[in-house]
Structure 1
């Protein structure tokens, strides 16, 4: 594309604003073929008024009111968060239910990947050993042991890709029986059961914490025959000195490595994919390029019989009517409303509302408020019926398009989707972030070509070609779908190559004592 030719993108015919496409934005005085002239400079991704807007008039993008003019806004003006008043949140009453529950369409057969099949029926995309902790006190000991395991044991077990410490800051100093305390407990439990860990559960306990192994893994918590976790408790009398603890960890780890080393990749249908989708460092192009491409890929995965999770409560809250309209049943719609109401109440208790979500980077990238951000976020979910809802920390029990209720925090959302059982993670970004997970491959999708070029060895896919007109949403959606299959089969993402791993972050709404 000729970057000297001024371009804007208008999402729907009813929109009275459009975003500037050109790298670096456009200066005041820029004239468009339709007669629009910019009255002031407008940065890339930011909105320009297409008509004269009166004080209090609705500002419309995506066919939705994203705000109200805070004073008169002449045609050609820059429409930023400074000149908008945010709408009130949509009521959770009288919502449409199932009015747009679109069938996925013809079954998409014949697509496969090379994965690791587990005894519980799940399929891993990586073959790793996990060490679960019951309390943060043991983290330093685990870290020391992990270094030794990687150096001394892993070379003897070439089919095991890595050993991962599932560290966290829970387990002691918490109100363990308070309302909400069950969320981090079941999250830790289900993290240990992620498909990439191959039914192998090793636990390190201190011995005096509020979350002992028996509470973390009660009878039946690992429903694989008579499977039980291997537990090393550091306060046990047989541990005399630090090296005694490390020796016990090394010995127990080797038993797990022997089991995991016997695993082999085998051809699995695309229906075994469990893909978690989220966005971070979002900008105004997120809802124009990357997230619509993810939505197209979502529809393909669902058509292939697979599972897709979309999340981030505050980043879909303003589109709740769109979600309940796509619910496959009244029960699914009610479950979505329940999660939204729970989160509304949670924010009220904290003395904030959903407007606290939007970051300075989001605004610099052209997103004026959470309403506009939500409209661009929700399109990751594609177009098909939503068939299930997960509460935070829950594990998947069904296939299809699932709403997994999580905070919008990149790290907490990724942790909860991992606990739910995802085996591939897709992450879109417009501002750029080196986010990654140690245990699940993360495919990074850039919303803008400029970012993809600048971060050429961090971004896995460039969706900016949609904005330039060089590719369609369908083109990039298919490219992403094929990339997901390749990555599920072992292809390394940039985050994996560089070993860029963010720490897991538990969601704990309960008090800390």
Structure 2
């Protein structure tokens, strides 16, 4: 990336004019506007003149491109010219489209030995009796079916610190009581993939170390029977994992009272936790990007990738997800796979998605969203290439299906949709105890019981929506900080947040409504 330079004039150091654009790779056919450009502006570093208005974060052609010719950004194909494009012209949805092209998967070709840090980083974690390490200390209420959602929320509302402060006043070490509800659980195939996936998600949350205790509440007659959840997920009722349903407990009011009593029985013991130093190897970080823009793949995503490389060097785990948003860039991950088997697993998930979209008469390129396009992203190929920058440069060590428990150390991939709440829900079910979420357009998101850090790609977003952002990567665009410097700063913020520092989303109370299990299969 080009940065500002300095020249010496009359004995004084004077900053040379900052280039108007950013070039990401010498083979690229486009550069990215740092700010809004108007027709006639001269891009001296590229030797072209801008034609028309170019919004910030959008692409400008650096050469004449013939219709049908491949267009490159990051040194990779992001689409094909749908008509002839002149040098200096705006490159976007009006002249750039998807197209088929071969990808060289080159399994394991770029795999390399991991450089481990000499002195492991630590954070102040909560160590459970069985050795699991938590970053937060919640009590959770899960539901087997939508029919028990209202009861679950009523129980959690009783323990809200803003409306009933006395309920948790004696228990300062408890982060809160949260109800994580959903809209399914009945009228589905009892042996189908959809119900199995929901049960796996609920099981992952029930066993999550960030929960000191859990209630699982049902109606009683639903397809998703609690007994079946417990059986398939290897769960056993215990003092800190209680289950019951409305029909057997005696109705709504009695069930709410019963739930409040069960939680009150947990509070004293749940409050008896103390944070202590633990290695960063206990961190499992879910990687997310939402509301992406043309700067996401230049600033925040590479900075997060640099932080991931540090995390892996210290023995930790990072979960890359959002399969439709690596589409067209998956070959860059298969080349980093530690084995052909791992690489083939990733390719198999891509093929599943191609078939899934075909069955539902959808296209993989229904992504990017309207907001992504307004921010400068044109095709899913371009979005994917910027998105995988979150994964840094480390090896891909394993591939998981949605909500599967993550046990490997290092960079792993979990198959999820691109929709952030569904994707992050799967990551947390897999064990993520921290989420890092980059955004260029802005985001309001949280993910109980796991803290979520939101990382802005540019100064304009930071200045506009700072109350929702935890870190600004805009200084990368201005040349004030390098990607490595920003990555180190983010890694430290990850450690601080895992140690108990509250994220902006936690301060605003986000997290309960963002629990969204992936719904697949027929509902009858």
Q: Normalising by structure 2, what TM-score?
A: 0.92
The alignment partner of 1:318 has SS state of coil
- Of the three residues 81, 85, 98, the one matched with 2:97 is 85
1:512 aligns with 2:502: no
Number of residues of Structure 1 aligned to a counterpart in Structure 2: 505
The alignment partner of 2:87 has SS state of coil
2:356 maps to what in 1? 346
Structure 2 counterparts to residues 289-308 of structure 1, below 5 A: 289-308=299-318
- Of the three residues 140, 143, 150, the one matched with 1:140 is 150
1:229-287 CA-partner distances (Å, limit 9, x unpaired): 31122111x52x54322221111111222331122211111111111111000011000
- Answer yes or no: is the 8 Å Cα contact 1:446–1:462 preserved in 2: yes
2:234 maps to what in 1? 221
- Answer yes or no: is the 8 Å Cα contact 2:195–2:224 preserved in 1: no
- Of the three residues 34, 37, 62, the one matched with 1:50 is 62
1:72 maps to what in 2? 84
Whole-angstrom CA distance in 2 between matches of 1:110 and 1:311: 26
The alignment partner of 2:488 has SS state of helix
- Answer yes or no: is the 8 Å Cα contact 2:322–2:415 preserved in 1: yes
The alignment partner of 2:495 has SS state of helix
Structure 2 counterparts to residues 51-450 of structure 1, below 5 A: 51-88=63-100, 90=102, 95-150=105-160, 151=164, 153-198=167-212, 200-218=213-231, 221-222=234-235, 229-236=241-248, 239=250, 242-450=252-460
- Structure 1, unmatched stretches of 5+, are none
RMSD of aligned C-alpha atoms?
2.0
Whole-angstrom CA distance in 2 between matches of 1:433 and 1:234: 36
- Cα deviation for residue 52 of structure 1 reads 1.3
1:90-145 CA-partner distances (Å, limit 9, x unpaired): 56xx7311111122213252311111112343211110000111111111111111
The alignment partner of 2:210 has SS state of helix
- Answer yes or no: is the 8 Å Cα contact 1:283–1:367 preserved in 2: yes
- Answer yes or no: is the 8 Å Cα contact 1:89–1:318 preserved in 2: no
- Answer yes or no: is the 8 Å Cα contact 1:102–1:383 preserved in 2: no
1:227–1:304 distance in 2 versus 1, CA, 3 Å: farther
- Answer yes or no: is the 8 Å Cα contact 2:199–2:233 preserved in 1: no
Which range moved further: 252-261 or 134-143? 252-261
Whole-angstrom CA distance in 1 between matches of 2:305 and 2:376: 21
The alignment partner of 2:168 has SS state of helix
- Cα deviation for residue 431 of structure 1 reads 0.6
The alignment partner of 1:275 has SS state of strand
- Structure 2, unmatched stretches of 5+, are 5-14
Q: Normalising by structure 1, what TM-score?
A: 0.94
1:352-402 CA-partner distances (Å, limit 9, x unpaired): 121012111111111111000000001111111111111012111222111
1:309-331 CA-partner distances (Å, limit 9, x unpaired): 01010111211211111111122
Structure 1: which 4+ aligned runs deviate by more than 4 Å? 1-6
- Answer yes or no: is the 8 Å Cα contact 1:146–1:165 preserved in 2: yes
1:54-97 CA-partner distances (Å, limit 9, x unpaired): 22222111111111112221111111111012122656xx7311
1:100–1:503 distance in 2 versus 1, CA, 3 Å: same
Whole-angstrom CA distance in 2 between matches of 1:477 and 1:228: 38
- Answer yes or no: is the 8 Å Cα contact 1:108–1:300 preserved in 2: no
